[in-house]
Amino acid sequence: MKDELLARRLVENEVLARTNNIKAGNAMDAMSTKIKAVFFYCECSRKACREQIPLSVAIYKKIHKDKNRFFVTPGHDTSSVESVEERHPSYWIVQKYDIEAA
C-alpha cells in the first residue's frame, strides 16, 4: 500500500512538471517556430529537480503526443513507475506503466 502511494506521488510530480512545460511550449509556439532548441524542465519524479533539457519544439511535441511519455535528464528515470524507451545523449524518453490505473 505504501509503495502504491509513493508511486502515485512520483507520477503526480511528473505530471505537474509536464503541465508547466506544456504551458511554456504553447507560449513559445505563439512566439516562433524558428527557435532551434528550447530549455524544458526535466519531467522526472524528483520534486526538487530543476534540471533543464534542450529540446527542439518539434521533438518536444512528438514526445508529448503520447500522454504517458515524458522526457527526463539521462539517469532520472524511476523504474518503479516507468520504463526508459529511448536514450539520447541529452535526454531520455520514459514511458509510464499506466497512469490511469494508479
Of the pair 7, 49, the CB lying nearest Zn ion is at: 49
Contacts of 67 (CB under 8 A, 6+ apart): 99
Of 11, 17, 38, 42, the one binding Zn ion by CB under 5 A: 42
Of the pair 51, 68, the CB lying nearest Zn ion is at: 51
> Do the Cβ atoms of 34 and 54 come closer than 8 Å?
no
The interface region with Zn ion, picked from 18-26, 61-69, 76-84, 87-95 by CB under 5 A, is 76-84
Of the pair 21, 73, the CB lying nearest Zn ion is at: 73
In the complex, least distance from residue 76 CB atom to Zn ion, rounded to whole angstroms: 4
> Do the Cβ atoms of 15 and 99 come closer than 8 Å?
yes
Question: Which DSSP category does 80 fall into?
Answer: T
CA distance 99 to 81: 9
The interface region with Zn ion, picked from 18-26, 47-55, 60-68, 83-91 by CB under 5 A, is 47-55
Assigned C-alpha cell, 74: 539521462
Of 6, 7, 24, 49, the one binding Zn ion by CB under 5 A: 49
